[in-house]
């Protein structure tokens, strides 16, 4: 784990694991929204450097980075992993979210995705660059938003090997 974090300079160029990727721009947002889709079907939304949401192919949340904290699915809740740094080491302190914290997290996540979906519907966004045509990319992002928004079970199963 890096001792010093920094924002990526060019996520579009660096995130080559996403076979379909691009950036949406809107006058309503300060930063572009990067969206990436892997061949496996896993996909991610980067609302600037924070928040970042990573989903399964069916639209369930797997991991996230929100307000400087890492989150990872535990199946029934999310674990918040907070970095604690000293001169000698970096530790991740784990805290499973209580029900009310999980509800707030999911509401904020769904609000971000819903807002992006509405912006696409209302043609308030443009594509600054993408690996496919602008129209195809907007259609793809809209479909990914819909997968998240219709999901009855928002949390992915626990990531194997993690507790």
What is the spatial distance between Cα 111 and Cα 96, in angstroms, rounded to a whole number?
22
Mean pLDDT of 2-20: 74
Partnered with residue 119 across adjacent β-strands are none
Stated pTM of the model: 0.89
pLDDT at 161 over 70: no
What is the pLDDT at residue 162? 47
Residue 87: band (very low, low, confident or very high) from pLDDT cuts 50, 70, 90 = confident
Statement: residue 57 has pLDDT above 70 = yes
Delimit the domains of the chain by residue range.
11-149
Which H helix or E strand runs over 118? helix 99-121
pLDDT on residue 50? 93
């Amino acid at each position: 784990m890096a001792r010093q974090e920094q924002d990526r300079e060019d996520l579009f160029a660096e995130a080559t694991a996403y076979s379909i990727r691009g950036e949406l721009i809107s006058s309503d947002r300060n930063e572009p929204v990067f969206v990436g889709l892997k061949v496996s079907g896993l996909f991610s939304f980067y609302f600037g450097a924070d928040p970042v949401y990573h989903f399964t192919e069916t639209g369930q949340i797997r991991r996230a980075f929100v307000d400087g904290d890492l989150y990872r699915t535990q199946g029934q809740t999310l674990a918040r992993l907070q970095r604690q740094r000293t001169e000698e080491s970096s530790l991740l302190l784990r805290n499973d979210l209580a029900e009310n914290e999980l509800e707030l997290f999911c509401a904020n996540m769904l609000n971000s995705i819903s807002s992006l979906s509405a912006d696409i519907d209302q043609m308030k966004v443009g594509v600054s660059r993408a690996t496919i045509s602008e129209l195809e990319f907007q259609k793809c992002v809209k479909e990914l938003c819909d997968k998240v928004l219709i999901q009855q079970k928002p949390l992915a199963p626990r990531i194997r090997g993690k507790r």
